[in-house]
Structure 1
Amino acid sequence: MAISAPAYSITLVNLNTFNSIGDVSSNKTVIYSGLLNTVITGGGTDSLEAFLSIDPNNFSNAIPDNQYGSAIKSTFTNINSGDVFSFNWDFTSTDQDQAFVTIANNIQPLTGNNGTYNYAFTSPGSYNVGIGVVDVNDSTGQSTLTLSNAQIQAVPWETDTLPILGSTILFGIGVWAKRKYTDNSKS
């Protein structure tokens, strides 16, 4: 049996604090693909993969034929097992461009035109988190990824009842012993 906190803690994530590369709006909530102001993919010092600290081969396998892109990134610290990172997203594209999320060097394509992204952290620690968009098969046209409502929802804390029960029993014994000692002193 476990006792849980009555409410979840929600921390809003300020996208303005993220670092950016490529064609990204000043408030970091709109990310663009296309040839204008974007960066190359495929590895190398100034590549999208280097910025996101991800393996170029893994990126190419997750999103084949990616050409140019833009992204934002941040490091989340003090993450607990079970915490959930989420945000709403809207993706507008006229071709096969792809939006994606990277967490702890894993690349996760966003599918569809919009939705809510959720990621539950499986272990405590610090995590590199990136969000971006890339041109696929060409470098023409512009795609737009719009982000909103980014947050981290902490899991409620849980504790085993055994330590609580044990502490309560010990407290009771202490009170009983004090009363007995006090009663014996008076006699």
Structure 2
Amino acid sequence: MPPLSRQSIGEVLSRVAERLSRDWSDAAPPVDLLIVGGAGGLLAGYLPPGRTTQDCDVMVWSPADARATDLWRQLDEIARSVADEFDLPPDWLNRGAGVFEHRLLPGWTERRIVLIEHGPVRFSSPSRVDYLALKLFAGRDVDLDDVLTMRITRDEAAFVRRTLESWDANHFAAHTVAGTLERLEAVVLAQEETPS
């Protein structure tokens, strides 16, 4: 399977949106899906065009009720069909990133960027600052490399820092916030040492 590029991600997600909008009940609420990870960064233009990924990480944030289970079932069926059509692995569209849903910064829904819209189905990406924050939370080498490639601005770093420092122990364990803040400071320092 060839890796997914910005163009191929757009093509396969457009096909998924088209089929899902056809299958989704007219009486059901709109479907909002958040694309994160490498696919979200590529499609939103945050990552360089030459960067590729092996999958598309998706989070469902609407509908957030019992219908989400039906949505996942339909989405899985459609994704498998699209996988056959585009020669992708059956699990190319995955929801493993859902563990980070609660780490989206307050107000992210107002800042999100709609990338693909077909009928009641929308695929969005987090805004640049929210995407950077998710990458810092994840903290893997590939995530931190992406943050360095994106060159976080002073304003973005200050926004992420302020937001994280305002979270209390009920929102996150102190070590999770502290670790993310440490990664943020390390990235800012690395950028200062290697100007663009």
TM-score by length of 1: 0.22
Q: Which has the higher helix share?
A: 2
Tell me which structure has the larger Cα radius of gyration. Answer: 1
TM-score by length of 2: 0.22
Identify which of structures 1 and 2 has the higher relative contact order when contacts are C-alpha pairs closer than 8 Å and 6+ apart.
1
Q: Which has the higher strand share?
A: 1
